[in-house]
Amino acid sequence: MCACARQDDAKGLWPRWVLANSVAETVGLSSTFGIGVALFAYLQAPGFLLALATAGVAILAGTLIEGTVVGTAQWLVLRRPFPSMRWRAWVLATATGAFVAWTLGMLPSTLMGAGSGAAGSTPAEPSGAVVYSLALLMGLVAGTILGTPQWLVLRRYVPRASFLWVPANALAWAPGMVLAFYAADFLFAAGPGASTFVLAMTTLAAIGAIVGAIHVLALVWLVRLRQSASL
């Protein structure tokens, strides 16, 4: 491959990556959100074992969706600058990060739901500032978790600087998670309907695009670094 072709790969990476993440996260987040709505009553029901089993189903579903849908969409873009990258390696890395992130994310709500059901009390609702601050922190943590297994794959191709992929994911998911929490509050208040569904899909696509637009900046730099080293 000539040098100009390699440069074109880096230049065209940004729009392809943003589009891939937008579509994949729309499918992935809408599916996991639907699963969460369907299982919410069981998660809040009295009984720790029932709540734990429900959380386990949600975690496995989220892992499968994130690993397959998001991982495949990203790999279809990555295989151009990294032709030797295997689909299985990237999807497995994405699924591993999703599994850990979903497990840590579901555990507090599972314990709180089971505890409140057993005690027969309803915990006080936190303020908006607290909720969005926690969402920001959750995004930083989730992005770190999601990016770390993928970094273990990327470092095979860009060993010197691939560690940047982890903080890039953390910074990307911080605003993405805040937007997700804000959209969830708004959509729940709006109630069911065709307009709500359209707005939800648009919001999910925006979340995927925002997250992708941020961490792809690190990816573009890594690809250019690798291409410069190979010239």
- In this prediction, residue 185 carries a pLDDT of 79
Angle among Cα 93, 96, 102 to the nearest 5 degrees reads 140
> Rounded to 5 degrees, what are φ and ψ at 85?
-70, 130
- In this prediction, residue 212 carries a pLDDT of 96
What is the number of other CB atoms lying within 10 angstroms of the CB of residue 31? 16
Do 187 and 196 contact (CB within 8 A), yes or no? yes
Instruction: Please compute the mean of the pLDDT values over residues 149-167 and round it to a whole number.
Output: 91
At 71-128, the pLDDT tens digits run 999 999 999 999 999 999 999 999 999 888 877 776 655 555 555 544 455 555 667 7
**Which residue carries 């295989």 as its tokens?**
79
- Listed ranges 30-44, 51-65, 174-188; the one with the highest mean pLDDT: 174-188
How far is residue 34 from each of residues 4, 24, 29, 175, 210, measured CA to CA in Å? 45, 15, 8, 22, 22
Q: How far is the C-alpha of 29 from the C-alpha of 127, rounded, in Å?
A: 25
